[in-house]
Copies of this chain bind each other. A is one copy, B any other.
Amino acid sequence: MAIPSIAQVRKALIARPGKPFDLSARDTADRSLFPDKAEAETSLRKDAAVINELKDMLYAEGKRGLIVVLQGMDTSGKSGTIKAVFSETTPLGMEVKAFKVPSSEELARDYLWRVHNAVPRRGHVGIFDRSHYEDVLVVRVRGFAPLEAVEQRYAQINAFEKHLCENGYTVVKFMLNIGHAEQGVRLKERLMEPHKLWKFNPGDLDDREHWPDFMNAYQIAVERCSTRHAPWYVIPADSRSRRNAMIARIVRGALEDMDLAWKDPGLDPGSYTI
């Protein structure tokens, strides 16, 4: 087997903009892109190195930015993805923002306020560990806002992301699509292993009980908010190694599409005496 091309990975995983989307048809255990685990690991390693190099060019250029949105149920591997895909990447010029329960300062503004505030500097890569999509996911499931307000948000989010794209940002969004059974396995792991126990939050079990509601909310969000300027990719996430490899391919593709090159500051090197 060869490593699948970036185009193949995108085509297999994208939620096609403007088309009907069926989350239930996406197999969380699908390994068809990377049947072989070792090959997934090789692909990840190669892509992580290229991502590092392209990120340095983006930093040097300082004119555009990349925003990577990671969404998924608990244990779907948001942190693990960050570690793996950016394993070769220096923290200089990286901005990881973990969106937690909104603070009172944040709740005192509209829900996109804190997100806009977290947009990375030009030249940087911003990773959103959760994002404004919480405001149409958990908020919808739990009824934290009236349904009519939630219903307005999809178009608001599309407008916001379009604004970012028109102003020099590339936005790429990943749903880490883990299966209910695999989440059960991982929650049990957290309870069993001392270095994972700190991540266990009894509240996660409440979300687990609302699984069908969350899947419905994801279905709606992905279908309505996968756009040409900011597509959603739905990543089979039951296998960590394949999940990492697939996301790395797509992140690399997003950076390659920027046509980055080492910035030419327009200096005449010969004119300086040191």
A residues whose Cβ falls under 8 Å from a Cβ of B: 56, 60-61, 79, 82-83, 86-87, 89-94, 96, 98, 127, 129, 184, 187-188, 191-192, 194-195, 197-200, 202, 205, 208, 262-265, 267, 269, 272, 274
Contact = CB atoms under 8 A, between A and B. Distances in A.
A262 B60 contact: no
B86 A197 contact: no
A82 B90 contact: yes
A86 B93 CA distance: 13
A274 B207 CA distance: 12
A184 B274 contact: yes
A208 B272 CA distance: 13
A61 B202 CA distance: 17
Contact of A92 (B96, B200, B205, B264): B96
A187 B90 contact: no
A274 B90 contact: no
A122 to B, nearest CB: 13
Contacts of A192: 269
B60 A79 contact: no
Contacts of A83: 90, 92
A60 B195 CA distance: 9
B197 A267 contact: yes
Contact of A91 (B86, B187, B262, B269): B86
Contacts of A191: 267, 269, 272, 274
A198 B60 contact: yes
Nearest to A268: B191
Given A94-B96, A262-B195, A187 B274 contact: yes
A232 to B, nearest CB: 22
Contacts of A127: 91
- Which 10 pairs between the two chains have the least Cβ-Cβ distance? A191-B269, A198-B263, A83-B90, A91-B94, A60-B198, A187-B274, A82-B92, A91-B96, A195-B262, A91-B91
Contact of A89 (B79, B91, B188): B91
A60 B196 CA distance: 9
Given A197-B262, A198-B264, 16 more contacts: A60-B198, A83-B90, A89-B91, A91-B94, A91-B127, A92-B98, A93-B96, A94-B94, A184-B274, A191-B267, A191-B272, A194-B262, A195-B262, A197-B267, A197-B269, A198-B265
